[in-house]
Structure 1
Amino acid sequence: MGLGLLHFDGRVIDDDGRPLLESDDGEELMHVEPGIAVTLDSRPTESPGTLYVTSRRVIWLSDADKGKGYAVDFLSLSLHTV
């Protein structure tokens, strides 16, 4: 896994599966984008999940596997588009 990318599986226990945020440190949910598939390194593309943009990091949580997710803080983030 890349530098700054962490496994993440913290979810709010309710029916929508939102990520568990660090609200004590002021983290807020800014945007939600469902139906996002991710590809990490040379691994196969993950099945679609939901991308959450918070005030501190980007979190992707799998829709199919409730224990699978990734998070990266903004200081470790770079984007490349195709």
Structure 2
Amino acid sequence: MGKADRWLSVGSVVGAGIWVVLGWIVLDSDLQGVQEALTDWGIAGLAVVPLLLMSAIGFLVDEPGNGEPVVWADDDQPTWYCGGG
């Protein structure tokens, strides 16, 4: 398991935890005061945090190279020659 995989796993657990806590706040009537304090926009904003977290982790710990050759989508590697004919 590479460094990126570990960070993505941690990010997934943190994101799932945030969504579980938000679901608990929204569904538990005893936590109505917390829900009112957060407001609907605050809850929506916190619900987006895991998505941003995963995007940031994926961007920051991306491991380009890894010693693997580049695979081109169309199997036609680009060349420096750009002229016609």
> TM-score, normalised on structure 1?
0.23
Instruction: Kindly indicate which of the two structures has a greater share of residues assigned to strand.
Output: 1
Relative contact order, higher structure (CA 8 A, sep 6+): 2
Higher-Rg structure is 2
